[in-house]
Chains A and B, each alone.
Chain A
Amino acid sequence: GQNIDQPTEMTATEGAIVQINCTYQTSGFNGLFWYQQHAGEAPTFLSYNVLDGLEEKGRFSSFLSRSKGYSYLLLKELQMKDSASYLCAVRASGTYKYIFGTGTRLKVLA
């Protein structure tokens, strides 16, 4: 079967660093995506990993280990506007579909 796990909720303080983990079990692997979704809004793309290692994009970085079926999204210098749900999505091999995790709701406190 296909399964993606993320923590349900996390809380962090403004200015801090937070790491959101995602573990996956899929039949093959063909890329991992992170999306941000503010309450009542559409998901928006943050990052994409297909090879092992770290991808950095400003305050956001994403890491992938294919052998461990593991990724994390790292958010630095947290701002109040980062309060949102963060969705991990995996594309399995031989399929065009994206399997989403249930998302991690991040609350940033002042």
Chain B
Amino acid sequence: DTAVSQTPKYLVTQMGNDKSIKCEQNLGHDTMYWYKQDSKKFLKIMFSYNNKELIINETVPNRFSPKSPDKAHLNLHINSLELGDSAVYFCASSPGLANYEQYFGPGTRLTVT
């Protein structure tokens, strides 16, 4: 059984378009995250939700908007895509806010042309 899944795995789109990435976890975890990994492999936190409540909102352009319809889902919508948005986006989950290991999804490779 897949623990943390993301769709799509690959996303190629043009500048200016709007796109969404979906994430689901079946681990019963309370906390979910979005990370961006750039070409230099630097993994940077973008957002985190705990029980559907936004708890981390890093300095990202407001073109990025997360949505958590329930504890098991955390989606990422990106408006007006730019070349610099090209990266791998990872969703992750953990049991809660305490110091738990994170379980990462397979990643979504976004390429903006």
Residues of chain A at the chain B interface (Cβ within 8 Å): 30-31, 33, 37, 41-45, 48, 50, 85, 87, 89, 91, 96-100, 102-103, 105
Contact = CB atoms under 8 A, between A and B. Distances in A.
Interface stretch (B11-19, B67-75, B96-104): B96-104
A92 to B, nearest CB: 12
5 contacts: A42-B105, A43-B43, A43-B104, A97-B58, A102-B40
Contact of A85 (B41, B101, B102, B105): B41
A42 B106 contact: yes
Nearest to A102: B42
B86 interface: no
Contacts of B103: 45
Interface string B68-100: 000000000000000000000010000001010
A37 B44 CA distance: 15
Interface of B: 31, 40-45, 48, 50, 55-56, 58, 90, 97, 99, 101-107
Given A30-B99, A42-B105, A96-B48, 4 more contacts: A37-B41, A91-B99, A96-B31, A102-B40
Given A43-B43, A96-B56, A103-B41, A50 B90 contact: no
Nearest to B38: A102
Given A96-B48, A102-B41, A44 B55 contact: no
B35 to A, nearest CB: 8
A97 B90 contact: no
Interface-centre pick from A42, A99, A102 (highest chain B CB count, 10 A)? A42
Nearest to B109: A40
A45 B45 contact: no
Contact of B48 (A43, A85, A97, A105): A97
